[in-house]
Amino acid sequence: MSLSEAQSPPAAKPRPTRRIAGWLAELTPAALPPATREAVRLAVLDTLAAGRHGRERAWSGAVRDWLDDYPPAPGQGGLATFWGDAAPAYRPADAAMANAVAAHAFELDDFHTAKLHPGAVVIPAALALAEARGASGALLECAIAAGYEVMIRTCLALDPSAARLRGWHLTGVSGPLGAAAAGAVLMDLDAEKTAWALGLAGTQGAGLFAFNADGAMSKRLHPGFAARAGLTAVALAARGVTGPTQIFEAEDGGLLATHSDVTHPDALTEDLGLVWRTDETAFKPYSCCGSLHAYVDAALELRAELGGAPPADAPITAGLARVVEVQCGYDYDPGTELNGQMSARYCIAAALEDGQVLPPQFDGARMAAPDTVARAQNLRLVHDPALDAIYPANFCGWVEVGGKRVYVNDPSGSTANPARADALRGKVRGLLADLLPAPAIADLETATAHFDTSRAGELLAPLARYEG
């Protein structure tokens, strides 16, 4: 070894954006562990069911109507399907937006404890592009895992609690990067163009929690904006449009510094490709904010112990982490569906009274029932500082009725539940029972369980089968 070689400093580690871009550019389906493959397949089943159910909502229809006002040119190829239609009719970025809004339309899509909804963004984006390009199911599976990984790690790096307390809806902030990551894998972009795509996606990241002030529909749109932005970023990067290659780490205007006062940059790349955050994703058994699922579980357990709903005058208390208190602890007055779905008071009251918190509980008349409104308004919420050290790594909480307290550390849709996969399939059957014939639902379960051996577009055929 020469003196100059001996004295030369060690090579600098690649910056986070470059490192993630390089990883994505080299990622192949063979790199996915079996547990991650299974997680992706369950996520696709769950998201397709949520999207097929959600297409019936007014905000989903409004997005589709808008897209129909500006259709692709006649005879244009490379189109994608609005889930439930019989044939592709939309540009991939437009289909991704419409399906993402539908998937997030009624608080039924998956979530991660990084405080985001990856499935509603990544799966519509990846599936639309894969369908339009005729990609294999194996490549689609790989792209979805990549998108989940980048989107989740982005939120972990932001510090979910700190960024949320700044007012950000993190699905909208990190979603474009997840969609772009999935798209870069499907487009087989090299490391340079992948870095551009991440930069172009990150500069579009946004989403504000102001919707909570009046229950506005804007929350339903955030995954749609994110999915569309990510695919737009990939398409432009593929055509040579450059994006910032330090989108995460730039001190002036980088995604981390801009969105959060507390950041964890190492979370972006630590054990990348070795530890798959995708595997940690939870599904929603209930049609409400994921941060409230532990409270619904606790309320249902108390209801079962009591043999039914507690007396109307029974004292009820719930303990909340500070972030959940800010997000879901507001006074309850009947309003929009979203007002109810984000309200700790209403969701606990509904669980105690009805024994479920599903779409029927968010009917306007049900949310305005005088007895339920009174119970929700009288329910006592307290900040429990002990929960601040646990949440959001665990979506925890407790409910107390008449001195009997039930604490839930991980909600029933989380990976802590050994029966999670069967429960998810039961949810899918219940969601689709009034929309599709039983054979179509069975075909959807089969297709998602084995989609790595087929073409991407074949996943969607069962969603278009109707009775009669």
b/e map of 224-239 (b: 16 or more CB within 10 Å)?
bbbbbbbbbbbbbbbe
Please give the tally of structural domains in the chain. 2
Which CATH number fits the domain that encloses residue 262?
1.10.4100.10
For the segment 252-282, what is each residue's pLDDT rounded down to a tens digit?
999 999 999 999 999 999 999 999 999 999 9
Domain boundary residue, one of 378, 408, 438: 408
CA–CA separation, 389 vs 112, rounded Å? 17
Which residue's structure tokens are 């007055």? 333
For the segment 92-140, what is each residue's pLDDT rounded down to a tens digit?
999 999 999 999 999 999 999 999 999 999 999 999 999 999 999 999 9
Both 241 and 307 in one domain: the answer is no
In a domain? residue 218: yes
Mean pLDDT within 210-235: 97
CA–CA separation, 145 vs 141, rounded Å? 6
Q: Which residues contact 128 (CB under 8 A, 6 or more apart)?
A: 80, 81, 90, 92, 93, 95, 96, 99, 227, 231
Both 101 and 152 in one domain: the answer is yes
Single-letter amino acid, residue 220:
R
In a domain? residue 429: no
pLDDT band at 14 (very low <50, low <70, confident <90, very high): confident
In a domain? residue 59: yes
In a domain? residue 5: no
Q: Which helix (H) or strand (E) holds 336?
A: none
Domain boundary residue, one of 280, 312, 328: 280
Position 41 pLDDT exceeds 60 = yes
For the segment 402-448, what is each residue's pLDDT rounded down to a tens digit?
999 999 999 999 999 999 999 999 999 999 999 999 999 999 999 99
Both 273 and 305 in one domain: the answer is no
Both 256 and 356 in one domain: the answer is no
Higher pLDDT: 153 or 76? It is 153
CA–CA separation, 116 vs 172, rounded Å? 9
pLDDT band at 12 (very low <50, low <70, confident <90, very high): low
Please give the pLDDT value at position 7. Answer: 54
pLDDT band at 454 (very low <50, low <70, confident <90, very high): confident
Both 249 and 343 in one domain: the answer is no
Which CATH number fits the domain that encloses residue 353?
3.30.1330.120
> How many residues in total does the chain contain?
468
pLDDT band at 10 (very low <50, low <70, confident <90, very high): low
Please give the pLDDT value at position 461. Answer: 94
**pTM of the predicted structure, to 2 decimals:** 0.96
Please give the pLDDT value at position 351. Answer: 98
In a domain? residue 10: no
Both 276 and 310 in one domain: the answer is no
Residue-range definition of the domain harbouring residue 346: 290-408
Contact predicate 219/210, CB 8 Å = no
* Tokens found for residue 347: 């969701």
Both 93 and 206 in one domain: the answer is yes
Percentage of the chain beyond pLDDT 70 is 97
Single-letter amino acid, residue 74:
P
Both 175 and 263 in one domain: the answer is yes
Both 49 and 94 in one domain: the answer is yes
In a domain? residue 4: no
Domain boundary residue, one of 214, 247, 280: 280
- Closest among 365, 360, 362 to 431, alpha carbons compared: 360
Position 313 pLDDT exceeds 50 = yes
In a domain? residue 466: no
3-state secondary structure of 411: coil
- Closest among 168, 111, 160, 186 to 410, alpha carbons compared: 111
